[in-house]
Structure 1
Amino acid sequence: MNMQTNPEIGQYIQTGSILTNYHDIGSGEPVLLLHGSGPGVSAWANWRLSIQGLKDDFRLLAPDLAGFGYSRSPADIVYSRQLWLEQIVAFLDALDIAKVNVVGNSFGGSMALALAIHHPERVNKLILMGSVGVPFELTPGLDAVWGYTPSEDNMRAIMRIFAYDQKLVGDDLVRMRYEASKRAGVHEAYEAMFSAPRQRWVEAMAHSEAEIRGIGHKTLLVHGRDDKVIPLATSLTLQQWIDDSQLHIFGRCGHWTQIEHAAAFGQLVDNFLKGA
């Protein structure tokens, strides 16, 4: 299967023990796009609209992190924030990219923070959207997302939690994400990452207040006011802790800012990255 038959498959590059599937689209200043952790997610599913909107101005790099999408991992892999961070650094090294702007969505926001905290010299500007990364009480929405078991009905229910505008949750989207979530090995990896009790995974993806306060990068925070997965309070906390930060809140928006408000989100990112 190649990109002609499946747009979620881009190209492959070796990153340590993981063979990373990624998309490298556009030209200009490099921007690393880190996806969220929903069932059946891939970099392409997460970022396809953003890529279309930004590719004329930036070089967009969107990898599938280990256990997600079409990246290939060893059978005995143990998923952790450290593993994903090592994959991201190895990915940048393999592409010979010294410094990059980073956009992290949800789970990917915690990984963007990890890169900024532990490898600050690799990050230019930081964009966090509906980001994990500070302690919060597990929401019923996130518990349902991480507790997903494959069926079309369950996937429809998950998609409805993500979206404020329920018209976005069409049969084609549900079927596409359901089919992706039940591919061989995919659900097994998902269960291995986020088994119950799930509050511990919120804690595992959180960084300390001191670490976050130490971030010196210019940071844009974006959140949907009506997000049922990651509470708006997380971005309010991050805005307090990151000194050089600004926060943009979209009303009538759930956890899918980059899809529900694709054009406005793209413009916000474009302006922020091009600004002084």
Structure 2
Amino acid sequence: MTSISPTAVDDAISMAHTGTGWVDRSAYPFESKCLGLPAGAVHYVDEGPDDGGKATLVMLHGNPTWSFLYRHLIRGLRDEYRCVALDHLGFGLSERPADFSYRPEDHADVLEAFVDELGLEDVVLVVQDWGGPIGLSYAIDHPENVAGLVVMNTWMWPVNDDPHFARFSRLLGGRIGRELIERFDLFTRVVMPMGFADRSKFTDAARQQYRLANRNDRTGVGVFPQAILGSRTWLSSLWQRRENIADIPARLIWGMEDGAFRPAELRTFEGLFDDSTTVRLFGVGHYVQEEFGADLVPLVREFVDDLPDSE
């Protein structure tokens, strides 16, 4: 595994994009970095102090987003905390390898290699949507390296034939649904806006960043819906080992108007963690980081400040 100089980012991700000039650097004013891993070149941002004195936050996005989703948190927390946000392979500015499966369990392997290669220690994982099972998989395998968890609108267990999830997985994960996602950008254009309780919070400028990020190859976006049911064996393995993370301090921040992850999923997490606090955001939907924006900063800062040895 080799690190790639930030000056070589465009070359490293040329398979994914023909340049990065479309990125709105006024909204996303971070230095792009890239890490070469066996599975592919992973784009990430790494902002804030790196003196080992305070927590390192590792932020993990879901579908069909990328690290742009965390721009408000990064800008608001980088004064005190190291903020690392990566793009999963196939998303944002990361490479789109033709031989990668894009299954969540393989994204989890990439995350493990990423954390190991950068030598990140005592991390606070910030997760949402598919970033949940991907990030919590790391925590389950390496609880000794996780100081805290910030969990937003996600899950980490098999849904089996729960009609709420099964219909979505079969509809968008089937042949026609996947073709609509990959050829016509259905997920970004239609599904993502439906995830907002207040669609006025999803500005045209922000929406354009997600559309452009997915313009060339939407394979990764298309795989995730099928994996809700298709990766049930992996999800089962996470849930069977849930006690590995039960004693990690957790803050649950939940958009209560989410049509995907409901109060029932929140209650499941509340029953899992021994040391957790819950913040319920009424009038907020699925994409909490986008819809609640900079108002998330004090909720996360308060939690991280109170963690043992955060000073």
Q: Normalising to structure 1: TM-score of the pair?
A: 0.85
- 1:22 corresponds, among 44, 55, 60, to 44
Deviations 1:48-82 (A, max 9, x none): 11111111121100111122222225321223333
CA gap 1:143/1:68 in 2 versus in 1, 3 angstroms: farther
Residue aligned with 1:214, SS: helix
Runs of 4+ residues deviating >6 angstroms: 140-146
- 1:250 corresponds, among 257, 270, 281, to 281
Residue aligned with 1:67, SS: coil
CA gap 1:243/1:260 in 2 versus in 1, 3 angstroms: same
- 1:31 corresponds, among 38, 46, 57, to 57
CA gap 1:230/1:253 in 2 versus in 1, 3 angstroms: same
Residue aligning to 2:66: 42
CA gap 1:72/1:157 in 2 versus in 1, 3 angstroms: closer
Task: Structure 2 unaligned segments of length 5 or more: list them.
Answer: 1-9, 11-18
Q: Which has the greater radius of gyration? A: 2
Q: How many residues align?
A: 270
| Alignment partner of 1:133 is 2:142 | no
Instruction: Give the Å deviation of 1:192.
Output: 3.7
Residue aligning to 1:157: 190
Task: Structure 1 unaligned segments of length 5 or more: list them.
Answer: none
In 1, Cα distance between equivalents of 2:169 and 2:117: 33
Residue aligning to 1:194: 225
Counterpart of 1:82, as a letter, is: E
| Alignment partner of 1:88 is 2:119 | no
Contact 2:196-2:285 within 8 A present in 1 as well: yes
Deviations 1:209-242 (A, max 9, x none): 4422331211111111110122231121011022
- What CA RMSD, in Å, does the superposition of the two structures yield over aligned residues? 2.7
CA gap 1:49/1:120 in 2 versus in 1, 3 angstroms: same
- 1:213 corresponds, among 243, 254, 279, to 243
Q: Normalising to structure 2: TM-score of the pair?
A: 0.76
Identity over the aligned pairs, expressed in percent? 24
| Alignment partner of 1:121 is 2:139 | no
Residue aligning to 1:172: 205
Instruction: Give the Å deviation of 1:164.
Output: 0.7
Deviations 1:105-144 (A, max 9, x none): 1110112211111111221111111122134434467777
In 2, Cα distance between equivalents of 1:67 and 1:154: 14
Counterpart of 1:226, as a letter, is: E
In 2, Cα distance between equivalents of 1:171 and 1:247: 31
